[in-house]
Amino acid sequence: MSQNTYGLRYDEFGKTSEILVYSRGTRVMANNFLNKGTAFSEQERVDLGLSGSLPPSVRPLEKQVLDSARKVQDKDSDIEKFIYIRALFDRNVTLAHALIASDIERYMRIIYTPTVGLACQDYSSMFRTANGLHFHPGNIDQAEDILRRYIHRDIRVAVVTDNQGILGIGDQGAGGIAICLGKLMLYTQGAGIAPWHCLPVSLDVGTNNQDLLDDEYYLGWRHQRITGAEYVDFVQSFARAFRKIFPNALCQWEDFSKQNAFAIRDSYLHDLISFNDDIQGTGAVTLAGILAAMKIKNERLVDQVFLVHGAGAGGVGIADQILAGLRERGLSEKEVLQRIYTLDRHGLVVNNRQLEPYKEHFARDPQELDWFNSEQDGDLLNVVRKAGVTVLIGTSGQAGCFTKEVVEAMLGNTDRPVIMPLSNPTVKAEAIPEDIYSWTGGRALVATGSPFAPVRCGDEEIRIGQGNNVFVFPGVGLGVLTSGAREVLPEFFTAAAHAVAAAVSDDDLGKGILFPSVAELRDISLRVAQAVGRSAIRQGVCRPCVFSSYWHENNEEKLDLLVERMRWQPEYLPLAAL
């Protein structure tokens, strides 16, 4: 794509009001940000040199969406639907997003989890059009020049992965960039960050997936993963270049391995405006579900006992966010740590065995547990019983490990246990919602990480709330950008959790539902962004918003309006021929 094809004109809120077009004819239709297909008006066809290039009838966006929806419906499988929507995005961004927005609940399953996992696995064979950037050891020394190509797009959000920890399917090499593409589509859907401001980035440091290395059609860097100092230098080279070219943009780290996820997040806390969604986004959305459960139970957060089964990046991120939520309510660090238990594949995480550094903070001292005498005492069922667990969270990827016996043991600790099998995809969920309801007589408060069909409970059909990070990360991104926050603070995610919990309707709470519907994504993202922006003001980390001329002071009401007005919607913009 030529940098001279178009330019952007903004209103006072930093939203694109008009696209300046420097080229003519088929080059206009070849640009997916400019292309309107059959919706180009008669005057635009004259001004842009398109006369005769299109059939004479003008078809408006609304009819284009209906036609595209019909074509998607005709596809035989979700992966074919994914391919169609991605191809539509590659030729007409606005139409693709208008289609997705017309039924976000239906299309999110296609553009993101679970279908995007298949897209990662089939990336090389499905490859059609280049999207985003691929850095590898052969070009990382050119990172600044490569990023500078995109400076005309005013990049505001980048989602960056090293492709190693994808959606429960592990190392997918170059295919991991499909996750970045999906996340950025959700930034646009939820937060209204225009697609031309979004940049997917793959840090292709090789792959240890032997099937990919043996595949003659694999498109990634065909080497074993680099590690140690070489890996650190590679990531640092990217981070330095990104900070120099896009100093005000948000960098979301995505799908790194457990230890790298924490190391990279912590290394760049103050050097980049960045966060890790697998850690902090997962933690915030889980805390939101727990806060909603407390409203239903009419109990205090500080009176609960928490068990996180699965001490990876997501699990420890959840424990971190629960800690923040309890500290917010006045408990000391020591008091909080006595209420949180984590389990890994060896059982209860205790400090008398060798641990990865990121697990150490939540490791329990066996000397303080009068019921823990040997490793066998640290199994899931025993910890639930002996610790008096009232909130059980699954991030282990061990399908079915929340057995009937475990779930019934929860009823011995509380009348309304909170049970959240969050592992993705659906086949790896720790329990099936229908079983949990059956085993508890409908008393459990249940949420999942993957989408599940509603469950009949008595005479009523209950929607299963999905603890999806999409409720958090788009709003966090927009709140950070509008407030001009210098860094992404832990307090932002606590504020986001409260905003998501507040979005659960009284009717849903009355039915025991812990999360709002994905259909409300745009409104929830607005609430989260405003809460995050206000948190940035209170924490004193704001700067004047570089993307807008509207807000230059710590005024919460003006910030709320900026958050609302900056958001792009999938509607065709005026094109000014120059």
How many angstroms separate the CA atoms of 148 and 246, rounded? 9
Q: Is position 112 annotated as part of the catalytic site? A: yes
Sheet holding 198-203, edge to edge: 133-135, 198-203, 157-161, 250-254, 274-276
Which DSSP state fits 467?
-
SS (H, E, C) 346-402: CEECECCCCCCHHHHHHCECHHHCCCCCCHHHHCHHHHHHHHCCCEEEECCCCCCCC
Question: What is the rounded radius of gyration, in angstroms, for the C-alpha atoms of the chain?
Answer: 24
Q: What is the distance between the terminal CA atoms of the chain, rounded to a whole angstrom?
A: 18
How many angstroms separate the CA atoms of 146 and 168, rounded? 31
Sheet holding 16-21, edge to edge: 6-10, 16-21, 575-577
b/e string for 234-259 if b means 16 or more Cβ within 10 A? bbebbbebbbebbebbbbbbbbbbbe
Residue among 281, 280, 282, 306 nearest 293 (CA): 306
392: Cα within 13 Å, side-chain hemisphere: 31
Amino acid letter for position 31:
N
Amino acid letter for position 265:
R
How many angstroms separate the CA atoms of 125 and 128, rounded? 9
How many angstroms separate the CA atoms of 65 and 73, rounded? 12
To 5 degrees, how large is the angle CA 415–CA 323–CA 467?
A: 60
**In this structure, are residues 292 and 501 in contact, taking their beta carbons and an 8 Å threshold?**
yes
Phi (first) and psi of residue 335, to 5 degrees: -65, -40
- Note the maximum CA span of the chain: 83
To 5 degrees, how large is the angle CA 177–CA 183–CA 186?
A: 150
Q: Which residue in the list 112, 123, 231, 268 is annotated as catalytic?
A: 112
Amino acid letter for position 433:
P
How many angstroms separate the CA atoms of 508 and 503, rounded? 10
**DSSP string covering 34-54, please?**
T--GGG--HHHHHHTT-TTTS
CA distances from 429 to 92, 396, 519 (A): 36, 9, 23
**In this structure, are residues 368 and 385 in contact, taking their beta carbons and an 8 Å threshold?**
no
Q: Which residue in the list 15, 183, 297, 359 is annotated as catalytic?
A: 183
**In this structure, are residues 163 and 256 in contact, taking their beta carbons and an 8 Å threshold?**
no
Which sign, positive or negative, has the C-alpha torsion 473, 570, 178, 249?
negative
Residues assigned a catalytic role: 112, 183
